Amino acid sequence: MKQKVPVSSIMSTNIIKLNLSDDLTKAETLFKKHHIRHIPVVNGTKIIGMLSYTDLLRISFADAVDEDETEVDATVYNMFSVAQVMARNLVQVAPETTIKEVAELLSKKEFHALPVVEDELLVGIVTTTDLINYLIDQY
């Protein structure tokens, strides 16, 4: 296995983002439309947080009364802002960070995605799925 492969070789660069002013209904739409589980939250070009699909599920759990219901009542989402639900104080990596270093970070922390930032600009996102796909390609 290659030792010094940069994370830039496996990160997603077609980044679906949320602005701080967006609402959680838009977030849910993006998660479902793009089949993703993490969305960086930006203020201009600077990343300020990360919203996961799990974050949305946590706040909507109380609303899940009917198991056949596929849509969460928008009222629940209107009670919270993106800023209230997103993760802050993110661990960030640079494009030249090695895949090994990223794997070590993700294996020791309780999150599954890392923003890839260069000169304070969000240039990509790397997830545990990206790492698993990389490992599969090695065999």
More confident residue, 62 or 137: 137
Distance CA 26, CA 116 (A): 23
Residue 68 has pLDDT above 60, yes or no: no
CA 133 to chain CA mean position, Å = 17
Residue 56 has pLDDT above 80, yes or no: yes
Residue 130 has pLDDT above 60, yes or no: yes
Does residue 17 contact residue 26 with C-beta atoms inside 8 Å?
no
Q: What secondary structure, in 3-state letters, does 98-123 show?
A: EHHHHHHHHHHCCCCEEEEEECCEEE
Of the pLDDT bands very low, low, confident and very high (cuts 50, 70, 90), residue 65 is very low
Position 74 scores a pLDDT of 66
Mean pLDDT of the region 48-57: 93
Distance CA 105, CA 13 (A): 20
Does residue 63 contact residue 73 with C-beta atoms inside 8 Å?
yes
Position 69 scores a pLDDT of 52
Residues 6+ away with beta carbon under 8 Å from 107: none
Distance CA 20, CA 122 (A): 15
Residue 44 has pLDDT above 90, yes or no: no
Mean pLDDT of the region 22-35: 94
Digit-coded pLDDT (tens) for 79-124: 899 999 999 999 999 999 999 999 999 999 888 999 999 998 999 9
Q: Cα dihedral sign for 95, 101, 102, 105?
A: negative
Q: Cα dihedral sign for 69, 75, 78, 79?
A: negative
